[in-house]
Chain A
Amino acid sequence: AQSVTQPDIHITVSEGASLELRCNYSYGATPYLFWYVQSPGQGLQLLLKYFSGDTLVQGIKGFEAEFKRSQSSFNLRKPSVHWSDAAEYFCAVGPFRGGYNKLIFGAGTRLAVHP
């Protein structure tokens, strides 16, 4: 069955430190992969997406992610975290045949940033 796993529920980093959020997926075909960010009490904002081509994709707010097919992973990275990056991050995979562009979301990783 298709699934998305975000192994880290909570991560705390210091401001200015580098960040890597992990995402592993189970999917029977070539996946489309997404990272979204959610501030408390708000909707989700798309950070970046991978459809095909270059496996290193750049997104907004200085984030990037690398697709590794052999590891079924799509980890999100940022070289230097800012206090405003504190939020919850969701990885998603899709679509599904006949599934009306359905996406499956991971459970999320909550990021805290220490000053």
Chain B
Amino acid sequence: DGGITQSPKYLFRKEGQNVTLSCEQNLNHDAMYWYRQDPGQGLRLIYYSQIVNDFQKGDIAEGYSVSREKKESFPLTVTSAQKNPTAFYLCASSPGDRGYYEQYFGPGTRLTVT
């Protein structure tokens, strides 16, 4: 089955540690996205990537980093510089073709930093 995989589902880290969240898709989509979700705030875009080896900052990129070395993978690193990292993180992808804009979402990773 085609889809988006995020692992792990739950992640716990100590303050001051970097942590990397995995996102893999086998939909052959060009574009991939990372969102952060906090209660009552909807989804906020962290980073997005249209093609391999290219990515752009979203609205809340500070304290995060990404890489896009392969079309199917778009890992997100939450660094120690992120002041409030505890949140639900969602990865999404879209075909990227003109006129085809809906995004497909993974199941999410809940990160808790103490």
**B contact residues, range:** 20 to 34
B42 and A108 form a contact (CB under 8 A): yes
Q: Which residues of chain B come closer than 8 Å to A43, judged between CB atoms? A: 4, 6, 90, 105-108
Residue of A nearest to B104 (CB): A46
Q: For window 71-115 of chain A, which residues contact chain B by CB distance below 8 Å?
A: 90, 94-95, 100-103, 105-108
B107 and A100 form a contact (CB under 8 A): no
Complex: A103 Cα to B102 Cα, angstroms:
9
B50 and A46 form a contact (CB under 8 A): no
Q: Which residues of chain B come closer than 8 Å to A49, judged between CB atoms? A: 102
Residue of B nearest to A36 (CB): B105
**Minimum distance in angstroms from B59 CB to a CB of chain A:** 9
Complex: A36 Cα to B37 Cα, angstroms:
14
Q: Which residues of chain A come closer than 8 Å to B42, judged between CB atoms? A: 90, 105-108
B96 and A101 form a contact (CB under 8 A): yes
Complex: A108 Cα to B42 Cα, angstroms:
6
**A contact residues, range:** 20 to 34
Residue of A nearest to B96 (CB): A101
Complex: A89 Cα to B74 Cα, angstroms:
26
For B101, give its contact among A44, A90, A95, A107 (CB under 8 Å): A95
A90 and B107 form a contact (CB under 8 A): no
A55 interfacial by beta-carbon distance below 8 Å: no
A contacts, CB < 8 Å to B: 9, 32, 34, 36, 41-46, 49, 51, 90, 94-95, 100-103, 105-108
**25 A-B residue pairings within 8 Å (CB atoms):** A9-B40, A34-B102, A41-B88, A42-B107, A42-B108, A43-B4, A43-B6, A43-B105, A43-B106, A44-B43, A44-B90, A44-B105, A45-B105, A46-B103, A49-B102, A95-B101, A100-B31, A100-B56, A101-B94, A101-B101, A101-B103, A102-B58, A103-B101, A107-B40, A108-B40
